[in-house]
Amino acid sequence: MKRTGFGIASLLLLAVEIIIGIYASGWVRNYLGDVLVVVLFYTLCKTVSPDRPRNPYVLPTAILIYAFIVEFLQLWGFCDRFGITNRLLRIIIGTGFSPEDLVSYAIGAVPCYITELILKKKSSK
């Protein structure tokens, strides 16, 4: 998939995330949104820098680690400790830790790993 394809996927995923953030509730907002945000970050990274490292696990793993760090910052109370009161920033960063979110992020990384493996296989032909 070329940079344009990842860019289009990013825009579509961003639109879905915004719709989820505004209208959804329950498991869609709590879990599906977290699964999709990892895929969104992946497609954004591939849009900006489509070149792959030799190891197909690097980018998805880096994004997963980033998501985990953000989640643990929520546990630490990052927004409150730094006096972040802007509603949009608090939504983007998050304010509540949940172990289930970590599972959702890991599930979201799976299609990223699969995509990287497919791209590696195509490039080796």
Q: What is the pLDDT of residues 32-48, one digit of tens each?
A: 999 999 999 999 999 99
| Mean pLDDT for all residues in the chain | 92
Please give the pLDDT value at position 92: 80
Helix 58-76 vs helix 33-48: crossing angle, to nearest 10: 130
Work out how many domains the chain is built from and give that number: 1
CB 40 within 8 A of CB 53: no
* Domain range for 105: 3-123
| Percent above pLDDT 90 for the chain | 73
Residues of the chain predicted below pLDDT 70: 1, 125
